[in-house]
Amino acid sequence: MLSYILKRLALTIPVAFGVSIVCFMLVHIAPGDPLTSVLPPDASAQLQAEMRALYGFDRPLPVQYGLWVLKTLQGDLGVSIATGRPVASELGKALGNTLMLAVLATLIGFLFGCLFGFVAGYFRDSWIDRLASFVSIIGVSVPHYWLGMVLVIIFSVQLNWLPATGAGPGGSADWAWDWVHVRHLILPAVTMSVIPMGIIARTVRALVAEILSQEFVSGLRAKGLLDFGVFRHVVKNAAPTALAVMGLQLGYLLGGSILIETVFSWPGTGFLLGQAIFQRDLPLLQGTILVLAMFFVALNLIVDIVQSMLDPRVQRA
């Protein structure tokens, strides 16, 4: 087990290095000048040169990349061009808000996705299977930003049950663990959970249907095992793959929440990324993308390790 973990860690290093290169180059090949947001339209050539030297934009790209990586390894993600504050401090609170939202959405999607998937797989080719499969397909197909707006219209505008925007009263970005603030979390979390719910439900349904068709299930029934006991064995065999899919969906939600956070004005990394894109704030954009990408790499590593602990066949493969 230890050798497998060390091997996975060793493979993660070049992946992280490649991710950092992609993050750096994608931002720099985008059109536009990053200093337009802080320089006046009539800025002199000398002022433009001084600002470029201040942010290091006057150096060759390989040098910029090397310095950026060295500073990042020391915990310094640079300074935001738009606000003048350190990127790490800008990113800290936003990352916490996104993690909270993504984890809750993933748990909701995993719970209902497994429920629909197990029921559909266990009662395959029945009306229950068709209904559960229809719900999962709807969950994957419906645009989540459109669903978010529909939920706002129904539960915020018409019924006035839940708040529509912000993380606190009055659209505040401050968070506290009380019912007043938790109410702001419900709509965006439910909206974000729909896609992972559909993906997990379809995956689990296929797994359960395949497992039930294997010979060991027939052997269990021949030994007189009741349906609950058979179902328990099916769950044990399907759990590693289901957990792997859940981990990947959590990574996708961390990086793909920009539209949901924009719809609900949720002060997370997606909302921060939108601001950085429109303001052409390169340090903030690079730091946010890099941190989210590294979270995804770390999640893949954790999922691989957990999956190998649950299913020894993964290590042997």
Give the integer Cα–Cα distance in Å for 112 and 311: 23
CA distances from 105 to 110, 163, 251, 302 (A): 8, 17, 12, 19
Give the integer Cα–Cα distance in Å for 280 and 293: 19
Q: Angle formed by the axes of helices 87-122 and 269-279, to 10°? A: 130
* Domain housing 19: 2-73
Same domain, 23 and 164: no
Same domain, 107 and 38: no
CA distances from 302 to 15, 100, 295 (A): 15, 18, 10
78 within domain boundaries: no
292 within domain boundaries: no
CB under 8 Å to 133, separation ≥6 — which residues? Answer: 120, 201, 202, 205
119 within domain boundaries: yes
Same domain, 166 and 28: no
Same domain, 61 and 105: no
232 within domain boundaries: yes
Same domain, 150 and 6: no
CA distances from 300 to 13, 243, 249 (A): 13, 11, 10
Which portions of the chain are predicted below pLDDT 70?
1, 27-28, 30-41, 170-174, 176, 225-227, 255-256, 310-317
Same domain, 182 and 132: yes
List the beta bridge partners of residue 79.
Answer: 86
Same domain, 47 and 140: no
156 within domain boundaries: yes
Identify which of 216, 187, 204 has the alpha carbon closest to the alpha carbon of residue 129: 204
Give the integer Cα–Cα distance in Å for 232 and 98: 34
312 within domain boundaries: no
Same domain, 98 and 7: no
Residue 317 is predicted with a pLDDT of 53
Residue 40 is predicted with a pLDDT of 67
Same domain, 106 and 233: yes
The count of structural domains within the chain is 2
CB under 8 Å to 311, separation ≥6 — which residues? Answer: 240
Same domain, 97 and 64: no
pTM recorded for the entire structure? 0.78
293 within domain boundaries: no
79 within domain boundaries: no
Q: Angle formed by the axes of helices 227-255 and 179-212, to 10°? A: 130
Same domain, 43 and 98: no
**Burial classification of residue 56, based on how many CB atoms lie within 10 Å of its CB (0-12 exposed, 13-18 middle, 19 or more buried):** middle
Same domain, 130 and 267: yes
